[in-house]
């Protein structure tokens, strides 16, 4: 099974065992954007808990209300989360998210996609 979806902020690529979310270039994510991103992700997953690879290298900013929403309400159906980052900007974004999250979802940041995939598959 392979599905895809796209909205203003991201491209979603779903396979049988992984959801890859690629954030589009130049966006600042606020609360309404985060809510749309999560809604679209959950529609694709259809209740299946799975690992997520989030490519945030093109993001400019994620504000605090959006980070809080993504870390708490937005963490449903996530088995593990790997961020694909490009320091220094998206390194800061992922560090802020990791500092905000209080859930039990294994989460790490990576600069190489192969390392991120290895992490997700190991769980």
Q: Could you tell me the residue ranges of all domains in the chain? A: 3-122
Query: What is the Cα–Cα distance from 36 to 119, expressed in whole angstroms?
Result: 27
| Residue-level pLDDT at 91 | 53
The highest-level CATH class for domain 3-122 is alpha beta
User: How high is the mean pLDDT of the chain?
Assistant: 87
pLDDT digits (tens, 9 = 90+) for 64-103: 899 889 888 888 999 999 999 987 655 555 655 655 555 5
| Residue-level pLDDT at 104 | 72
Which of 68, 63, 76 lies closest to 19, judged by CA? 76
């Amino acid at each position: 099974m392979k599905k895809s979806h796209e909205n203003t902020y991201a491209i979603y690529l779903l396979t049988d065992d992984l959801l890859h979310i690629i954030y589009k270039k130049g966006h600042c994510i606020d609360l309404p954007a985060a809510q749309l991103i999560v809604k679209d992700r959950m529609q694709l997953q259809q209740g299946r808990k799975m690992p997520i690879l989030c490519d945030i290298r093109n993001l400019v900013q994620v504000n605090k209300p959006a980070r809080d929403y993504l870390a708490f309400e937005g963490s449903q159906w996530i088995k593990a989360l790997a961020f694909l980052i490009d320091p220094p900007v998206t390194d800061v974004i992922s560090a802020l998210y990791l500092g905000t999250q209080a859930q039990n979802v294994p989460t790490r940041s990576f600069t190489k996609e192969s390392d991120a995939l290895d992490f997700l598959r190991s769980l």
